[in-house]
Structure 1
Amino acid sequence: MRAQYDVAIVGSGIVGLGAALAATRRGLSVIVIDRSAEILGASVRNFGHLCFTPQSGIARTFAAASRELWLQLAVDAKLEVRRTGTFVVARHLDELEVLGDLAARRAGSQALSSGSEQPEVELLTSAEIEGRVPVAPGSTVGGAHLGLDLQVNPRDAVHTIAAHLAERGVEFLPRTAVTAVRSGRVETTRGIIHAGIVVVAVNADIDQLYPDVAERVGIRRCGLDMLRVNAGLRFPLAGPLLTGWSLLRYSAFTRFPAAGRIRERLHAQHPYLAALDLNQMYTQQPDGSLIVGDTHYRGDAIAPFQDERAAAALLDITAELFGTPRPRVLERWQGVYASGPDEYLIEQVEPGVHLAAATTGIGMTTGLGLAEHVVEFALSSATFSSPSLTQQKEFS
C-alpha cells in the first residue's frame, strides 16, 4: 500500500468495483478498501438478473451504460454473461395489458442497444410462453420476452471483476475498516490513505459512515429472504422469470394504469404475500438449481432471525406456478441493502468525496452505470493533479 492514490474507493460491491473500473479505464491509480475479507454483501446475495428493460428514467440511463460495460467485461474479464433476456409470465389479463403497454412504449427504442434487430419487448401468446417457460400448463394468458436483459452467476461475477481489476493494477485492501473520510484522505484501521477523489460505495452501511446523510435522505435498511431450491422443473428455465408481483416493483411497469389494478387484485387475493412485499421471481443456476425470492422488510436495523412462514410461502407459490411438488431447499439466506425514497443516493458531501448507492435493489442491474456517472462527475469537478497521469506523461 502506498501513501497516495488518484482514487480511493470504500466498498467492494458492484458499485465500488464499477467505480474502480471507471477510474482504471481513465488511467488513474486506484485502491479499494473493504472491512470484509471477501465480497459477501448484496452483490452476491441476489438473482444475477440484469433487468435493464424494466427500468425507466435515470435508472434506464444507468442501465444502458451498465449493459455495455457488462458485455465488455464478458470479453475483457472472461466473465460469463448470458444473453438470455427475461421472461414475464402473465396469469391475468391486467398483467398482459401492462406488458402490451410496455411493448408499445418501447417499440423502436434503441436506448439499450443501438442497431439491435430484436424488439426490446416481444409479446407472447399463452402457448408460446408455456412452450418456453416450464410453468404449469394452462396457467397463463400470455407473457413477454425482454430480449436485451442479461444474466450472470451472482456468486462468481463480482469476484471475477475484482480479479480482473487486480490484474490491471487496482489495489485491494480487505479486512480494513474505514473510520472517517475527509477531502483528500481516508482514515482506516491500517492508517491514512491519501487520494484526490474518494468514492464511498458501502450501500446499507452508509448509515454507519454518514448517519446524518442517511437520516436526512430517509435511507433505511431493507432485508429480504431468498432460497436456492431443487424445483424439479419439466424443462430448464431459459432465462430469469418475472411474475405479476414483479410488475408492481419496476418503474417501467408501474407507470401504466393497469399496474394499479394488478396491485388491488393481488393484495385482495393474497394479503399475506402482499404483507411480505413480495417480488415473485426466479433464475436458474448453472447446476440446474433455482434461486427463488424474494420478500422485503425495512428498518433501521435488520434482525438476523428469518420467519419460516416467509420461506414456506415462497415454496408454496413456486410449486403452484410450475405445477410441481414443493421444492427441496438447498440453501437459504438473508440479503440486506439500502432502501430509500429515491432510486439512488448520489451526493458530494465535501470536495472530492462522493457517495454512491442504488437504493431500490437494482444495484447489479445499474450499478456499473451509476459508478461510471459518479466517477465522470468527480473528475469533471475535481481540482487535483493525478500522480499516475503525471508519471505517464514523464515516461511517454
Structure 2
Amino acid sequence: MSDSMRDSKRDSISGAHVHQADTVVVGAGIVGLAHALAAARRGERVVVFERDDYAVGASIRNFGMIWAVGQQRGAIYERALRSREIWLETAAKTGLWAEQSGSLHLAHRPDEVAVLEEFVAATPAARERGVRMLSAREAVERSHVARPEGLLAAMWSPTELNVDPRHALPAVAEHLVAEYGVDIRFGTTVRSVDLPTVSTTAGEWRAGRVFVCSGNDFATLYPQVYAHSGLVRCKLQMMRTGVQPGGRPLGPMLCGGLTLLHYAAFDGLAARDALAARMDEELPYHREHGIHVLLSQTADGRLTIGDSHAYAMTHDPFEDEAVNEAVRDYLGTFADLPDPRVTERWTGYYPSLRDGRTELVTSPEPGVTVVNGVGGAGMTLSFGLAEEVVGAGAGG
C-alpha cells in the first residue's frame, strides 16, 4: 500500500476531514505573501496561515520604502528591482498607492559627497537606471523639504518606490484571494508540520510543500534550525507626523550621511572609512544606537521618520525618547518639515543576520523551506526572493 493510500485509510477510519493544498505558507507578512504569490502564479493551490487576526508585525511597522538603491550591489540589487516590478504590477491591478517617488541622498559634508560619487562611479547598473549626482540647486528643486543650508550635492535615484505598508499588506492579501484563489486563514496557528500533514488550529491539511515565513516568531516551528541560524532580533523605533499643511506631496524620499554607513550598497567603498571615522567622533550616540534617518510618506500625506537599530535575542519593551530626539535632531540637519509634530511612535522587531547574508533559506526536511532573515529589507526584496525560492523548490 502506498503512503498516500495508507494516509487516506487512516483519515477515513478517524473520520477527520483533511483539507488539500499544493503549497502551505506559514505567515502572512510580506515574506509569506510574496511566497504565496510566487506559488499561485505557477498555478498551485495555496493556503496561507497567519496566527494573528491581521498583519501586525514588521511588515506594517516600516517606511513603505522599496529601496533598491541601498541593496548590495549585483544580484541583490537586481532582486530589489524585480520586486519593484511586482509591486507596480500589483498596484496596477488593485489600485494600491505606489508612488514612484525616487530618492535623494543629501550630502552636507565633503566626505559624504565622496562616498556618493564613488558609488555612482563604481555601480554601472545603477547609472544605467538613472542614478546620478545632482548639484545642491538641482536637489532643492526636486525636494521642497530638503534643507539648502550647507548642502553640497545629492545623489538622485529614480528606482525607489513608496507604498503605505498599513494599506499595502491588506491589499496584497486581497489580491491573492481575488486573483489567484489563495486561501488565507488569519487567526490560525500552525501547530506542527509532518508532510504531507500540516496540523493547525483550524484542522489538518495535506500539502506537497511548505514555506515557513514566520518572521519574528522564528523559534516556534523548527527551533533547531534557528538555534544555529545566526538570527538575532532587531528592535527599532519609528515616528510619524500628521498630514502636512496643504497636502503637498513629499516628493523623493530623503536621507542623509548616516544612511551611507547603514546600507550594504556602500560597503567596500574606499571613501566610506573616512566618513565612518568622522561620524563615530561627531555622533557617538547615533552610532551606538544604530541610528540613520530616512523620511517617507504615507498614502494620506503623513511623514514617517526613523529609525534606530538594536540587536539582541531578547529586548526590553520600552521606547527610549532620547533615541527619538536624536533621530529628529539629525533629520533637522537635512530636512525642514512644514509641520514636524509627531502624532505616532512605535517600536518594531524583525529577525536579522549580522554576518552579511541577505536571507536565511534552508530546508530542515524534504518539502519544507524556511525563509527568514531578510532584515529591514522585507518590503524591498521579498517578491524577488520568493520567485527565486519557489522556482528553485519546484525544480528540485
Residues 269-300 of structure 1: per-residue CA shift (max 9 Å, x gap): 01111111012111022333210000011211
Deviations 1:312-363 (A, max 9, x none): 2222223343346983111011111001122100111111100112433101
Aligned pairs for 1:259-278 (under 5 A) are 259-278=272-291
Residue pairs, 1:63-82, within 5 angstroms: 63-82=80-99
The equivalent of 2:55 in structure 1 is 39
Q: Equivalences for 1:1-396 in 2 at 5 Å?
A: 3-55=19-71, 56-107=73-124, 109=125, 119-133=129-143, 134-167=145-178, 168-230=180-242, 236-323=249-336, 327-340=340-353, 341=355, 342-381=357-396
The answer (yes or no) to whether the contact 1:319–1:327 under 8 Å persists in 2 is no
Q: Which moved more, 1:131-140 or 1:87-96?
A: 131-140
Q: Provide the rounded CA distance (Å) in 2 between the counterparts of 1:106 and 1:317.
A: 28
Cα RMSD, aligned residues only: 2.1
- 1:136, distance to aligned residue in structure 2 (A): 2.3
- Letter of the aligned partner of 1:106 in structure 2? T
Taking the aligned partners of 1:123 and 1:159, their CA distance within structure 2 comes to 37
Q: State percent identity of aligned pairs.
A: 35
Change (3 A) 1:380 1:119: closer
Does 234-243 or 213-222 show the bigger shift?
A: 234-243
> What's the secondary structure of 2:101's corresponding residue?
coil
TM score, norm. by length of structure 1: 0.89
Query: 1:59-83 deviations in whole A, cap 9, x for unaligned?
Result: 2232132122112112222322211
Judged with a 3 Å threshold, the aligned counterparts in structure 2 of structure 1 residues 257 and 179 are, in CA distance, closer, same or farther, namely same
Q: 1:292 to 1:355 in 2, by over 3 A?
A: same
The one-character-per-residue Cα deviations of 1:170-201 (angstroms, maximum 9, x if unpaired) are 00111111222233232222222211010001
Amino acid at match of 2:94: A
Gaps of 5+ in 1: 112-117, 382-396
Instruction: Give ranges in structure 2 of 5+ residues lacking alignment.
Output: 1-16
1:182/1:350 contact within 8 Å kept: no
Further displaced range: 137-146 or 53-62: 53-62
SS of the counterpart of 1:203?
Answer: coil
What is the CA–CA distance in structure 2 between the aligned matches of 1:93 and 1:233, rounded to whole Å?
A: 34
* Count of residues in Structure 1 that have an aligned counterpart in Structure 2: 374
* CA drift at 1:245: 1.1
Judged with a 3 Å threshold, the aligned counterparts in structure 2 of structure 1 residues 311 and 233 are, in CA distance, closer, same or farther, namely farther
Contact between 2:69 and 2:126, CA under 8 Å: does it hold in 1?
Answer: no
Q: 1:372 to 1:217 in 2, by over 3 A?
A: same
**Structure 1 residue 119, shift from structure 2 partner:** 4.1
For 2:105 and 2:303, the matched residues in 1 are separated by: 16
TM-score where L is the length of structure 2: 0.89
